[in-house]
């Protein structure tokens, strides 16, 4: 096969798989395989421009594409992160160390924008490449076409363009743009974004560049990465050149000489933090001289010539307007504080969980009190303390269920208060929603609206009734609950296919307290099938990894109830799989190691990475703890990364994970 035929064959395959993914919602290959095909096509077209055509998949993206992935590109200069510091003592130590090494060094203090890092490459003044940070060392993602949609990205340098220059900046969203996007998401009935940073990161990686244009991303440049054909002595000098070319640089940077001046600059930035049109999460202190930077160099992860001071979590006062009570799928009564709207870390918040009665008692909170609210990991709003006691007493969760009126009861050994009625409508709805969820039986298309309608019309009383729906097909179609005949048959087919799921998915779907996806896998792996598990004693259950005394008691109590066993027996009669499936194992290279995955990986989804780890003997859990061996972190990693660093847990990239595996994996 000659080169032209190979290129044409690749184009046909990519177009076919694009159609299967975008229009048929039935992909036949993984995202990684698709990306490698696209990368190979780009490489061949670059080597043979005579065969490039305007209708090539490399020249266009699907107008309705929602897939988030990019073509990998090798970094010319590593896009390292910064060493975080959290106190004045650490800042002073860095400044004084630099002053001991160099004669009267200059420091630049500037905002640390809370966004997504991106580098821009210019050749003879023209923008030729935009890339994300990726793993920071070897590879990022080519997001050039999306970068061209950002107004702050200058596409041609007009003043003294060098032969080559690469600059690095932060892509972010202004608060007003973020609010506008979330308002639009709500109008369309779509999921809203947690914060501006997550929205910016997800937007930049969209294949549909019109989405990038519509969402209104912004960018500040904060570093000169590399230059040929021109020389700069200082960071501030490079900034002046960039400003001449219309490149937006970090605003209000300050040049300092002493530790006191540096701390004053950090404090001044901190005071302006709440008045800016965008979010910052710290201040960066860096040497101004490039010669001094080059002399110091970098470690494998961070430059030695800069640190990032992270401000304490932002706190604001709000007044408690109400305390709402809801009931979860296990019958747990959940109290939520509703307070006057405040803006924290780029989003407007007006609600925060109060967890349980013990938490409420410790706070001493009641309706009418003023409280201090902050964001955990800059995502989840939490109440820190009562700042002004204006309520009459301390709020008490009532002894009757707020949904069905049945008696509530505090569960022994826990702080949980639960509804005692198995027939509670809230419990029934949430049980079924959990059962069909992606983490459990993964019944795609079985939405909450369908579930609530089917329950209200008497079709569903428990999860086993889901598998009886096929016998009521004609009635469902005539009533139009799921839609027309095609939609109904599609959902019934999904339900039928789920019978073959591995037993750990079924166990997860039962919603046993404290038994999540990870514990369910360990339980089925240990006992082999549901029947053996159901007959296990508490002593036998405790022998399983991830199962402690409280969890063992929850499992034993659940299977001891005749009503629960009756539902499980019906599921058996409907033909659901109760046994562990034998999975192909590639190696035992990761045996005994526990991983947590966070952020957006360069070339694979989290579920794909988890499957790869488990295939090679490793274990994947959802939260970081002292038992975690590695945190696999990608772009826009959040609080899990902070916790891993605090616990001293090794943080690895996708590339480092792949190095740990056999070549065949």
Domains of the chain (ranges plus CATH)?
3-60 (1.10.287.610), 83-310 (3.30.470.30), 315-418 (2.40.50.140), 425-500 (1.10.150.20), 503-573 (1.10.150.20), 594-659 (3.40.50.10190)
Residue 24 CA to its chain's centroid (Å) = 26
More confident of the two residues 601 and 638: 601
What was the pLDDT predicted at 554?
87
User: Please, which pLDDT band fits residue 63 given cuts at 50, 70 and 90?
Assistant: very low
Residue 118 near residue 219 (C-beta atoms within 8 A): yes
Q: What is the mean pLDDT of residues 334-338?
A: 95
When pLDDT is cut at 50, 70 and 90, the band that residue 556 belongs to is very high
Statement: residue 62 has pLDDT above 70: no
Tell me how far apart the alpha carbons of residues 77 and 540 are, in angstroms, rounded to a whole number: 55
pLDDT at residue 149 tops 90 = yes
* Per-residue pLDDT band at 115 (split at 50, 70, 90): confident
> Per the structure block, which two tokens stand in for 201?
């990161």
Determine the Cα–Cα distance for residues 210 and 149; give it in Å rounded to an integer: 8
Q: What is the mean pLDDT of residues 546-551?
A: 85
The secondary structure of 44-112 as a DSSP string is: HHHH-GGG--TTSGGG---TT---B--EEEE-SS-----EEE-SHHHHHHHHHHHHHHSSS--EEEEEE
pLDDT of residue 642: 77
pLDDT score for 557: 87
Pairing of strands 306-310, 83-85: parallel
Judged against a pLDDT cut of 50, whether residue 344 lies above it is answered with yes
- Measured in degrees and rounded to the nearest 5, phi and psi for residue 166 equal -125, 125
pLDDT tens sequence across 506-529: 999 998 888 988 889 889 989 999
96-101-102 Cα angle (round to 5): 95
| Antiparallel, parallel or unpaired: β 594-598 and 630-633 | parallel
Question: Which pLDDT score, from 0 to 100, does residue 647 have?
Answer: 85
- Whole-model pTM: value is 0.53
- Among 204-208, 293-297, 555-559, 615-619, the range scoring the smallest mean pLDDT is 204-208
φ and ψ of 72, to 5 deg? -70, 145
> Phi and psi for 530 in degrees, rounded to 5?
-65, -40
- Give the mean pLDDT of the chain: 87
Rounded distance between C-alpha atoms, residue 276 and residue 174, angstroms: 9
Q: Report which secondary-structure segment, H or E, holds 3.
A: helix 3-22
Burial class of 76 by CB neighbour count within 10 A (0 to 12, 13 to 18, 19+):
middle
DSSP state for residue 599 in the 8-state scheme: S
Return the active site residues.
112
533: pLDDT strictly greater than 50: yes
SS3 407: strand
2: closest CA among 51, 53, 43? 51
Q: Pick from 290, 293, 195: which is nearest to 234 by CA?
A: 290
d(CA 654, CA 483): 42
pLDDT at 525: 87
Say if residue 641's pLDDT is above 60: yes
User: Phi and psi for 195 in degrees, rounded to 5?
Assistant: -160, 165
DSSP string computed for 475-540: HHHHHTSS-SHHHHHHHHHHHHHGGGS-HHHHHHHTT-TT--HHHHHHHHHHHSBHHHHHT--HHH
Residue 661: predicted pLDDT: 87
Q: How confident is the model at residue 99 (pLDDT cuts 50, 70, 90)?
A: very high
State the Cα torsion 563-566-567-572 to the nearest 10°: 160
Instruction: Report the greatest alpha carbon distance in the chain.
Output: 85
**What pLDDT is stored for residue 56 in this prediction?**
79
Confidence at 242, pLDDT banded by 50, 70, 90: very high
Task: State the pLDDT confidence band at 25, using cuts at 50, 70 and 90.
Answer: very low
Q: What is the CA radius of gyration of the chain?
A: 28
**Tally of CA atoms within 13 A in the half-sphere of 65 that contains its CB:** 22
CA distance 167 to 223: 6
CA distances from 446 to 126, 263, 451, 481, 620 (A): 50, 55, 7, 11, 27
CA dist 99 and 256 (Å) reads 12
pLDDT band for position 26 (cuts 50, 70, 90)? very low
> What is the percentage of the chain residues whose pLDDT exceeds 70?
92
Q: How far apart are the C-alpha atoms of 640 and 521, rounded to whole Å?
A: 22
How far is it, in rounded angstroms, from Cα 523 to Cα 528? Answer: 8
Both structure tokens of 433: 């929603």
- CB-CB contact of 434 with 443 (8 Å): no
Of the candidates 177, 148, 147, the residue with the CA atom closest to the CA atom of residue 279: 177
What are the tokens at 545? 């990894």
In the predicted structure, residue 191 carries a pLDDT above the cut 80 = no
User: Which of 203-217, 359-373, 605-619 has the highest mean predicted lDDT (pLDDT)?
Assistant: 359-373
If you average pLDDT over residues 376-399, what whole number do you get?
86
Residue 436, SS3 per DSSP = helix
Share of the chain above pLDDT 90, in %: 49
First to last CA, the chain: 28
What strands lie across the sheet with 71-74, from one edge to the other? 71-74, 139-142, 126-132, 116-123, 164-172, 218-228
Pick from 99-108, 415-424, 542-551, 639-648 the range whose average pLDDT is largest.
99-108
C-alpha dist (Å) from residue 52 to 8, 277, 487: 10, 43, 41
Q: pLDDT, tens digit, for every residue of 591-600? A: 889 999 988 8
Task: Give the least confident one: 10-14, 191-195, 487-491.
Answer: 191-195
Annotate 331-381 with DSSP letters as a single string.
SBEEEEEEEEEEEETTEEEEEEE--SHHHHHHHT--TT-EEEEEEETTTEE
- Non-local (6+) Cβ contacts of 33 within 8 A are none
| Tokens encoding 247 | 């490149």
Fill in the DSSP letter of residue 128.
Answer: E
Query: Which three-class secondary structure string do you get for 271-287?
Result: HHHHHCCCCEEEEEEEE
Asked which of 499-503, 510-514, 570-574 is least confident by mean pLDDT, the reply is 510-514
Residue partners of 390: CB distance under 8 A and separation at least 6: 319, 368, 369, 370
């Amino acid at each position: 096969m000659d080169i032209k035929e190979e290129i044409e064959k690749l184009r046909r395959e990519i177009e076919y798989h694009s159609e299967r993914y975008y229009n048929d919602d039935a992909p036949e290959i993984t995202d990684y395989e698709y990306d490698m095909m696209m990368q190979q096509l780009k490489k061949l077209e670059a080597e043979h421009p005579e065969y490039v055509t305007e209708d090539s998949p490399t020249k266009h993206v699907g107008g309705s594409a929602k897939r988030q992935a990019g073509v990998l590109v090798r970094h010319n200069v590593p896009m390292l992160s910064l060493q975080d510091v959290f106190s004045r003592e650490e800042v002073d130590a860095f400044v004084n160390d630099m002053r001991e090494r160099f004669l009267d060094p200059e420091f630049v203090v500037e905002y640390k924008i809370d966004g997504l890092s991106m580098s821009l490459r210019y050749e003879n003044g023209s923008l030729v490449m935009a890339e994300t940070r990726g793993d920071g060392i070897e590879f990022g993602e080519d997001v050039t076409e999306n970068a061209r949609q950002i107004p702050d990205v200058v596409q041609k340098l007009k003043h003294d363009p060098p032969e080559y220059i690469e600059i690095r900046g932060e892509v972010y969203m202004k608060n007003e743009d973020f609010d506008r996007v979330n308002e639009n998401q709500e109008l369309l009935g779509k999921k809203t974004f947690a914060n501006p940073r997550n929205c910016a990161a997800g937007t930049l990686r969209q294949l549909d560049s019109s989405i990038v244009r519509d969402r209104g991303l912004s960018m500040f440049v904060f570093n000169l990465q590399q230059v040929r054909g021109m020389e700069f002595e200082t960071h501030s000098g490079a900034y002046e050149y960039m400003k001449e070319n219309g490149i937006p640089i970090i605003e209000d940077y300050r040049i300092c000489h002493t530790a006191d001046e540096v701390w004053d600059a950090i404090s001044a930035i901190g005071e302006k933090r709440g008045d800016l049109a965008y979010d910052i999460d710290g201040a960066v202190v860096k040497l101004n001289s490039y010669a001094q930077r080059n002399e110091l160099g970098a470690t494998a992860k961070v430059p030695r010539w800069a640190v990032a001071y992270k401000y304490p979590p932002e706190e604001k006062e709000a007044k408690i307007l109400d305390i709402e009570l809801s009931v979860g799928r296990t019958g747990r009564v959940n109290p939520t504080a509703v307070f006057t709207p405040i803006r924290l870390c780029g989003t407007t918040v007006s609600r925060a969980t109060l967890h349980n009665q013990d938490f409420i008692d410790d706070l001493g909170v009641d309706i009418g009190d003023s409280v201090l609210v902050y964001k955990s990991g800059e995502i989840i709003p939490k109440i820190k303390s009562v700042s002004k006691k204006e309520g009459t007493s301390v709020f008490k969760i009532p002894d009757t269920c707020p949904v069905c009126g049945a008696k509530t009861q505090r569960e022994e050994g826990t702080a949980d208060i639960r509804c005692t009625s198995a027939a509670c409508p809230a419990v029934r709805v949430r049980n079924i929603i959990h059962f069909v969820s992606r983490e459990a039986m993964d019944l795609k298309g079985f939405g909450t609206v369908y579930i609530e309608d089917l329950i209200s019309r008497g079709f569903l009383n428990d999860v086993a009734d889901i598998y009886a729906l096929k016998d009521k097909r004609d009635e469902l179609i005539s009533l139009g609950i799921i839609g027309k005949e095609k939609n109904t048959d599609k959902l019934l087919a999904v339900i039928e296919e789920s019978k073959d799921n591995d037993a750990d998915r079924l166990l997860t779907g039962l919603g046993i307290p404290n038994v999540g996806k990870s514990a369910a896998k360990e339980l089925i792996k240990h006992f082999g099938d549901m029947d053996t598990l159901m007959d296990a004693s508490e002593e036998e259950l405790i022998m399983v990894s991830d199962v402690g005394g409280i969890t063992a008691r929850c499992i034993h109590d659940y299977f001891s109830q005749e009503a629960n066993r009756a539902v499980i027996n019906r599921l058996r009669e409907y033909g659901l799989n109760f046994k562990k499936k034998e999975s192909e194992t590639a190696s035992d290279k990761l045996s005994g190691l526990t991983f947590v995955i966070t952020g957006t990986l360069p070339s694979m989804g989290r579920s794909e990475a988890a499957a790869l780890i488990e295939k090679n003997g490793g274990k994947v859990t959802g939260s970081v703890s002292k038992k975690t061996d590695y945190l696999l972190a990608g772009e826009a990693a959040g609080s899990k990364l902070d916790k891993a660093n605090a616990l001293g847990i090794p943080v690895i990239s996708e590339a480092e994970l792949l190095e740990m595996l056999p070549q065949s994996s």
